């Protein structure tokens, strides 16, 4: 019984530390605007890791753009984090060509350490309106997949 109580206490402490760490996460987008994850309390937050050379990333961008454009002023925020790029100019051209309307952050080890692994591209992190990470999806996502996960949670 004592071990069970210790496990529960440890789990609660660990989750409160994780919540605090997410509150401290601030990402700067290509336009220089800072995005603190705590700013999006009360909204679904999608953080999508991608790369300019990644064909599955190319496939999911229109889905993410449509979802963001339909719900951005209501209950949703999307932040794209680009990894493994050659130049900022290359990223900006890609963002412009793909009509990516949501903020784009240049990814690095510090970003991955704060949010999560970037070993597989694309990878999508979905946080609920309370700021809890509810889903990590490695591989391509669609708008309908994300909406289904949001409805179920």
Give a yes or no: residue 18 inside a domain.
Answer: no
Give a yes or no: residue 91 inside a domain.
Answer: yes
| Domain count of the fold of the chain | 1
SS3 81: strand
Q: Is 32 exposed, middle or buried (0-12, 13-18, 19+ CB in 10 A)?
A: exposed
Give a yes or no: residue 114 inside a domain.
Answer: yes
Output the pLDDT for position 23. 59
pLDDT surpassing 70 at residue 143: yes
**pLDDT tier for residue 20 given thresholds of 50, 70 and 90:** very low
Q: Which domain holds residue 126?
A: 26-152
Give a yes or no: residue 128 inside a domain.
Answer: yes
Output the pLDDT for position 25. 84
Q: Which residue has the tokens 């990333």?
A: 57
Give the global pTM: 0.84
Give a yes or no: residue 62 inside a domain.
Answer: yes
Give a yes or no: residue 115 inside a domain.
Answer: yes
What is the overall mean pLDDT for the chain?
Answer: 87
Q: What is the CATH number of the domain that holds 35?
A: 3.40.30.10
Give a yes or no: residue 48 inside a domain.
Answer: yes
CA angle at 104 for the pair 101 and 110, rounded to the nearest 5°:
160
């Amino acid at each position: 019984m004592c071990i069970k109580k210790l496990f529960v206490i440890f789990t609660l402490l660990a989750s409160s530390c994780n919540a605090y760490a997410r509150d401290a996460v601030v990402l700067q987008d290509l336009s220089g605007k800072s995005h603190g994850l705590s700013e999006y309390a009360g909204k679904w937050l999608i953080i999508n890791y991608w790369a300019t050379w990644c064909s599955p990333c190319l496939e999911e961008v229109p889905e993410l753009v449509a979802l963001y454009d339909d719900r951005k002023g209501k209950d949703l925020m999307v932040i794209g984090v680009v990894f493994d790029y050659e130049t900022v100019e290359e990223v900006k051209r890609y963002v412009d060509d793909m009509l990516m309307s949501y903020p784009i952050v240049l990814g690095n080890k510090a970003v991955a350490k704060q949010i999560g692994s970037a070993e597989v591209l694309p990878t999508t992190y979905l946080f609920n309106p309370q700021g809890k990470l509810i889903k990590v999806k490695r591989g391509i996502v669609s708008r309908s997949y994300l909406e289904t996960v949001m409805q179920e949670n």
